[in-house]
Structure 1
């Protein structure tokens, strides 16, 4: 008797005992899965990875370099995938590649498979795990430590290390917030650390730190001697802010919030993630200010912090994200409950 026969037989017996005859939907799900698996026996996860990398890189040559294989070899593998599917996935030109209508449909259906497989393995893996974590720029070290302690030191309700999470380790690396959604969907990172809001669908978030933003300026700035600022003061200043495409969601929502308060600021785009450049810009430009939580700059002797002239200032919310309905999302929800992080499912 096969495992499936034994399992379905047990379930049939249970139904009989409960006087609830009829087919069990769970049996149908398993049988459909078996049929689907037979139909894709000759598919290789490697081909999905190749396809996803070409989509993200935009050219076969860039994807080949990232995958560390030759360009002719990658082109051949993509052609084999197209032959197996029976349809072209890419339109090739001198500028690179773009998805065909069929390619977009294929991407929509398969982009969650690597992450689902990773979650399935992680749910039962007895060996220590290494979770890659993408970190956006400017995240304080203490937030990274909090995330590290939470995700790698997770406990069960009785105080023991979680049985299905033995000795998990995090491998953190710098990843722009704009890229994190795609890397999460493709399973290349298990978690992301970002500033909310982020325009990424199908993720859950746990807020680690939530603080009001205030005005930061150089100690020699003309307004630095004032204990309180007015909107009239601020309307004469430019705001050191994120370059286009950086911190999507957060970078758009904060200036909009300021405009509602009456500060129609002129933005001065700059690299916000390099502390030396941030400090240099503020100290060498007379009419330039920035926004930061107070404790982000209180130890910097060359800067001063002042509250915004409103009882409802914009806030910086740093959060950990994961793909919704994944194993990592369930882990994140459990950790959030244990450590008092605000968990957001939408």
Structure 2
């Protein structure tokens, strides 16, 4: 039994006439009659009562019609969903990001605009360190990841550079330096630094250490925190200062004051988008394209 047999049967049942059904199916009446008889033989039940001017359903035919229509409707829904999935209108995107990435407005804006245009695409979000994010991409647990570093070993992954974000100093609210509207890195040379722990924060960590070295000093690191927000909590407690991407200054935290860093060297951190190099999901590719355009 094939789907076309079900379509033949349903059309004859709806028309109540084999000749009219054949016309609607764009076929000849004799082959259609033969197909209906073959279907009845396969089911081992008469589906129609033949009349001089048409046909009517038997009890078995009425029972079979309900199931046949349900099967065809399900097939049509499956085909429509497949077409929408191929166009990227339906699906699921697993998005990973480092702990500092979601604070940048680009991330929220991209998800919001994509959801507005493709509401049947769902998002699964995961926050973790860069090492775990890249492993998640390779193991296909994640589809894309916002990261703060490049790839030393691509291994089938691709990285799209999105933007460079300025970094700012985060100081205890009563720190002596908060009286200055702007600071340079050299102004922080004698401060105790609180940094986002490496290797999870290797992008931020390495950028800060490298910039301080270029400014002529090696920072004294008093604490390392497992999450970048934890570094700010330690700053609020007065245990030191830190340097964070400017987007984190949007985070209202009692006891922390942010100051712009000016002069040389300029200090900024990248925001990159990592994905599999052979990605084929239309929804994921559409989201990647949107993020790159917004950036």
Fold match, TM over 0.5?
A: yes
Task: Look up the match of 2:195.
Answer: 241
When Rg is computed on C-alpha atoms for both structures, the one with the higher figure is 2
Query: What is the rounded CA distance, in whole Å, between the counterparts of 1:251 and 1:199 in structure 2?
Result: 16
Q: Is the 8 A contact 1:239 1:265 kept in 2?
A: yes
Tell me the CA shift for residue 213 of structure 1.
0.7
- Does residue 318 of structure 1 match 2:271? yes
Task: Look up the match of 2:98.
Answer: 136
Please, which runs of 5 or more residues in structure 2 have no aligned partner?
1-82
Q: Is the 8 A contact 2:184 2:264 kept in 1?
A: no
Task: Look up the match of 2:177.
Answer: 223
Task: Look up the match of 2:66.
Answer: none
Task: Look up the match of 2:3.
Answer: none
Task: Look up the match of 1:102.
Answer: none
| Higher relative contact order structure (alpha carbons within 8 Å, sequence separation ≥ 6) | 2
TM-score, normalised to structure 1's length? Answer: 0.51
Query: What is the rounded CA distance, in whole Å, between the counterparts of 1:179 and 1:149 in structure 2?
Result: 25
SS of residue in 1 equivalent to 2:180: coil
Query: What is the rounded CA distance, in whole Å, between the counterparts of 1:326 and 1:134 in structure 2?
Result: 16
Tell me the CA shift for residue 340 of structure 1.
3.4
Please, which runs of 5 or more residues in structure 1 have no aligned partner?
1-120, 155-160, 342-346
Question: Relative to structure 1, is the Cα distance of residues 232 and 172 closer, same or farther in structure 2, using a 3 angstrom cutoff?
Answer: closer
Q: How does 1:173-188 map to 2 (within 5 A)?
A: 173-188=126-141
Question: Relative to structure 1, is the Cα distance of residues 132 and 258 closer, same or farther in structure 2, using a 3 angstrom cutoff?
Answer: same
Query: What is the rounded CA distance, in whole Å, between the counterparts of 1:280 and 1:126 in structure 2?
Result: 41
Query: What is the rounded CA distance, in whole Å, between the counterparts of 1:237 and 1:198 in structure 2?
Result: 31
Task: Look up the match of 1:334.
Answer: 289
Tell me the CA shift for residue 207 of structure 1.
4.8
Query: What is the rounded CA distance, in whole Å, between the counterparts of 2:185 and 2:128 in structure 1?
Result: 35
Task: Look up the match of 2:111.
Answer: 148
TM-score, normalised to structure 2's length? Answer: 0.59
SS of residue in 2 equivalent to 1:133: strand
Q: What is the root-mean-square deviation in Å for CA atoms of aligned residues?
A: 3.3
Query: What is the rounded CA distance, in whole Å, between the counterparts of 1:199 and 1:135 in structure 2?
Result: 18
SS of residue in 1 equivalent to 2:148: strand
